Amino acid sequence: MNFIFSGIAQGSSYLSPYAYGVLHRLHHAYADTELDPHSPKYQSNIFAMMARTKRIYTSIVQGKADVDERFKKDLPKWTTFDNFADSWAVRLSWAAFYIAFYVVFATHWWLFLLLPIHFIMGPVHGAVINWFAHKYGYRNFNVEDTSRNIMPVDIFMLGEGYHNNHHKHSGRANFGTKWHEFDPVYPFILLFNALHIIRLRKVATSEV
Ligand SMILES: [Zn+2]
Ligand SMILES: [Zn+2]
């Protein structure tokens, strides 16, 4: 199910939930060390970091990465769907759909300039967090890595910008900790949990 919803939500910039899961576990385990798949500490610019992330991500997708079993454990895997959503036919169909949407709904020509962001939304979102939230912003917790909260009220990254909080409490579904740090996605997580679409673990709703 999470593969299908990822396919719809990410469209042309689909990333495999399985491979991203492995990648993200590696990031938490080795944050800001040389084994971190993406750290601004070891790359000179954001594009070099994205290139390294892509290389490691691709090797996980292809099953070539030498990754410890504990990073793969319990992650859902659906290779057939990954191959389908990752194909050029599907990616270009999504791109054509976005263009058609703009042709119908865009009210000014300059709005079309936003289209490239839609095409590569997944990597753009990832890079913004992985680069800027490990470089700029404030810290609530003095953790060992360089994670920071980008904005006191994170509306643009939908809560993921509270990255320092997330590194401190990585199992928690609510990324906000201070009164002003509203996580816009958290109410939806609670709703989906109540509707039994997802099942939150105890740690996800704990306040400590
Ligand atoms: Zn991080
Ligand atoms: Zn995380």
Mean pLDDT of 15-30: 96
Q: What is the mean pLDDT of the chain?
A: 94
Cα 167 to ligand 2 centre (Å): 7
Cα 164 to ligand 2 centre (Å): 10
* pLDDT confidence bin for 145, thresholds 50/70/90: very high
Cα 107 to ligand 1 centre (Å): 38
Mean pLDDT of 134-152: 96
Using one digit for the tens of pLDDT, what is the confidence trace for 50-95? 999 999 999 999 999 999 999 999 999 999 999 999 999 999 999 9
Cα 28 to ligand 2 centre (Å): 6
Contact (Cβ atoms closer than 8 angstroms) between residue 142 and residue 126:
no
Mean pLDDT of 172-197: 95
Q: How many residues does the chain have?
A: 208
Cα 120 to ligand 2 centre (Å): 21
Backbone angles phi, psi at 33, to 5 degrees: -115, 180
Ligand of minimum distance to the alpha carbon of 170 = 2
Question: In sequence order, which ranges of 62-181 are alpha helices (DSSP H)?
Answer: 69-72, 79-85, 88-105, 115-119, 121-127, 163-168
Q: Report the alpha-carbon distance of residue 115 to residue 71 in Å, rounded.
A: 35
Q: Assess whether pLDDT exceeds 80 at residue 186.
A: yes
* pLDDT confidence bin for 208, thresholds 50/70/90: low
Contact (Cβ atoms closer than 8 angstroms) between residue 193 and residue 202:
no
* pLDDT confidence bin for 1, thresholds 50/70/90: confident
Cα 40 to ligand 1 centre (Å): 10
Query: pLDDT over 90 for what percent of the chain?
Result: 89
Q: Assess whether pLDDT exceeds 70 at residue 194.
A: yes
Cα 145 to ligand 2 centre (Å): 13
Contact (Cβ atoms closer than 8 angstroms) between residue 148 and residue 137:
yes
Residue 30 has a pLDDT of 96
Using one digit for the tens of pLDDT, what is the confidence trace for 156-178? 899 999 999 999 999 999 999 99
Q: Assess whether pLDDT exceeds 70 at residue 24.
A: yes
Structure tokens at 177: 């900790």
Residue 2 has a pLDDT of 79
Contact (Cβ atoms closer than 8 angstroms) between residue 117 and residue 125:
no
Cα 90 to ligand 2 centre (Å): 28
Cα 149 to ligand 1 centre (Å): 10
Cα 32 to ligand 1 centre (Å): 8
